[in-house]
Copies of this chain bind each other. A is one copy, B any other.
Amino acid sequence: MAVAIEIVAVGNELLLGDVQDTNSNWLCRRFTALGGRVRRVTMVGDEVDTISEVVRAALDRGAQLVVTTGGLGPTDDDLTLRAVARALDRPLREHPTARAWVAATYAELARRGHVASAEVTPSRAKMAQLPAGAEPLANGVGAAPGALLRRDDGSIVVSLPGVPDELMDIVRGALRPYLTALFGQGAYEEWRARVDSGDESVLAPILSEVASRHPDVYIKSRAKRFGLGVTFMVSLSARGEDPAQARARLQAAWRALEQALDRAGIAARLEEGSVGGDDRCAP
């Protein structure tokens, strides 16, 4: 079974529409490529009660990995770690390693003249307050460390900063060994094909029939444009123990689909570069 994942994106600026949440999409691609299955993404505002309730609900639904994004900074509306602590019934505690990282970051920033003082003010120290038992995740780009908390049942809650560069740095760096341990060696492959039919209602029963004969392959169609010269993109994706197994599953489904489309007089071709896993998503 694929690892069940939920993402909780935190920030009033997201709900106001001021900022497009690109982090969740990046995480979805990455976790999918690692063989995980993101079951839900929930976007909420900077409210401790709401964040806490959503994290709790995700765990109650059986998520093995819950990832929060945003709300780790020094300002009063950065409340995510307080909410995670509440969701897991743990107190917040200053983590000495996190504190040392925050101090080192500001010492370096002060040395370079980017901040006036290296002092670890209460606002800065707040970033080292983690839920008791959490491990800090080094942030190579910004000041706020991430946090990882493993629960007794093996499920994991990870909190990442909302600034995309910082989030990606932690996922590629400090979080990487944890992800490898969690996802193991499973593989995910996706192929995309362009189908020369402007009519999804003709395509639908064909896809449906092929999908029913290949339950290990997920088949989805999407209109590239609706109107003049429209085509449909069909994606086929599969998981396997390794890339070869995933690829063999796709190959079988693709052959069946190509033949069924051919019988209906519809041309289809795989997209350049769509064969094989997404390297950008490799851990």
Q: Which residues of A contact B (CB under 8 A)?
A: 12-22, 24-32, 37-45, 50, 73-77, 106, 109, 112, 114-116, 121, 123-124, 141-143, 163, 165-166, 190, 198-205, 207-208, 211, 218, 220-223, 226-228, 230, 235, 237
Contacts and interface: CB of A to CB of B under 8 A. Distances in A.
Contacts of A200: 73-75, 123
Contacts of A26: 17
A29 B109 CA distance: 35
A42 B41 contact: yes
A155 to B, nearest CB: 19
A39 B207 CA distance: 37
A163 B226 contact: yes
Contacts of A75: 200, 203-204, 207-208, 221
B41 A204 contact: no
Contacts of A228: 112, 114
A123 B205 CA distance: 8
A224 B217 CA distance: 42
A115 B199 contact: yes
The 7 closest A-B pairs by CB, nearest first: A17-B29, A17-B28, A41-B43, A123-B201, A115-B199, A75-B204, A74-B201
A253 to B, nearest CB: 16
B109 A198 contact: yes
A211 B75 CA distance: 12
B39 A15 contact: yes
Given A116-B199, A204-B74, A43 B24 contact: yes
Given A16-B29, A17-B30, A142-B226, 20 more contacts: A12-B218, A13-B222, A14-B28, A17-B31, A18-B29, A18-B235, A20-B22, A40-B43, A40-B50, A73-B200, A74-B201, A75-B203, A76-B211, A114-B198, A114-B199, A116-B202, A121-B202, A123-B201, A124-B201, A143-B226
Contacts of A237: 16
Contacts of A109: 198-199
B17 A201 contact: no
A220 B13 contact: yes
Given A74-B200, A207-B75, A32 B44 contact: no
Contacts of A106: 201
